[in-house]
Amino acid sequence: MARAAEPAPASLGRLGYGAANVGNLYRALSDEQAHAILEAAWEAGIRHFDTAPHYGLGLSERRLGAFLATKPRADFTLSTKVGRLLVPDPAGAGTLDLAHDFVVPADLRRQWDLTPAGVRRSLEESLERLGLDAVDVVYLHDPERADVEGGLDRALGDGLPAVAALRDEGLVRAVGVGSMVNDALARAAASGAVDLLMVAGRYTLVDTSAADEVLPACRKHGVGVVAAAVFNSGLTAGPEPRDDARFDYEPAPPGLLARARRIAEVCRAHGVDLPTAALRFPLRHEVVRAVVVGGAGPDQVRQNAARLAADVPEALWADLATEGLVP
């Protein structure tokens, strides 16, 4: 395995592209459509890209790697994830990976392995799919979901030292944990083993629960945060939350839907649309270094980049706080 590329970008940049969509999340894309999305991100100034073996059973990594291979290595930051190996699954032949929401052939299956050997193998296989010598950041992916004896205790006990060793050997520049579960994130932050957390859906306009323990632990231990899933499965992705809006992949509870609509009203009063506020909110916290969002088409990517550059008055945040809608 090669050492991390030199030089690497000093900053993640405020906006990153999360490449689950180019792994055929929810709908199939051609290679040409995936390339157009990634090119739109690059043209919009995005230089931070995140992927995972989980996304499309490796398809996201292959497509993203093919795209980035055409760009100067020193010009972008790339992260992937470890914890799930991809192994052949003859039983899945002729079927699709719809149980995991990816429209790809299910001739591979995910196999949990958070041991040092498994984590190293996962990175090596990711590099092969990417066609690149190195990634900059590796996250331990969803340790709370790991199907291992001992549950989260075992997953973190094995996985955190394993990813830290990759950094300590110079194979990657930074390591962390990506999760939707505050307990896993807070414990990782307090471990002293990680540089970054990818906080998925837990520090957003409609769910600020990571502010209770996770973000204070990050501040205390010098851990940076990359905020992901800031639209919470679409609840705040449009100017007005829909009746059938989803939150964390499920129908949004009525109380949460009403709260999101009130936030949208306050935003409109300040001339700001709800998705813009959703993108900008996490970045107001001192430990949040970047926001990573997906995009199923070039226009979505361009819209997100424009929203990040839009003017948002301080009075909006003050009014949301006065009503108890954000901390």
Residue 249 appears among annotated catalytic residues: no
Between the alpha carbon of residue 38 and those of residues 42, 45, 228, 297, 300, the distances in Å are: 6, 11, 18, 9, 11
Question: Is-contact 133 5, C-beta < 8 A?
Answer: yes
The one-character DSSP state at 234 is G
Distance CA 246, CA 242 (A): 9
Question: Is-contact 282 24, C-beta < 8 A?
Answer: no
- How far is Cα of residue 143 from the mean position of the Cα atoms in its chain? 14
For residue 246 the two structure tokens come to 């989803």
Distance CA 203, CA 153 (A): 24
Question: Is-contact 239 201, C-beta < 8 A?
Answer: no
For residue 217 the two structure tokens come to 């632990």
Sort strands 246-247 and 250-251 into parallel, antiparallel or unpaired. Answer: antiparallel
- For residue 289, the SS3 value is strand
Question: Is-contact 18 294, C-beta < 8 A?
Answer: yes
Distance CA 243, CA 142 (A): 30
- For residue 186, the SS3 value is helix
Instruction: Please name which of 79, 291, 84 lies closest in space to residue 167, comparing C-alpha atoms.
Output: 79
Q: Which residue among the candidates 17, 55, 139, 203 is catalytic per the annotation?
A: 55
Query: Residue 157 burial (CB < 10 Å; 0-12/13-18/19+)?
Result: middle
**Would you tell me how many other CB atoms lie within 10 Å of the CB of residue 99?**
9
Catalytic residues: 55
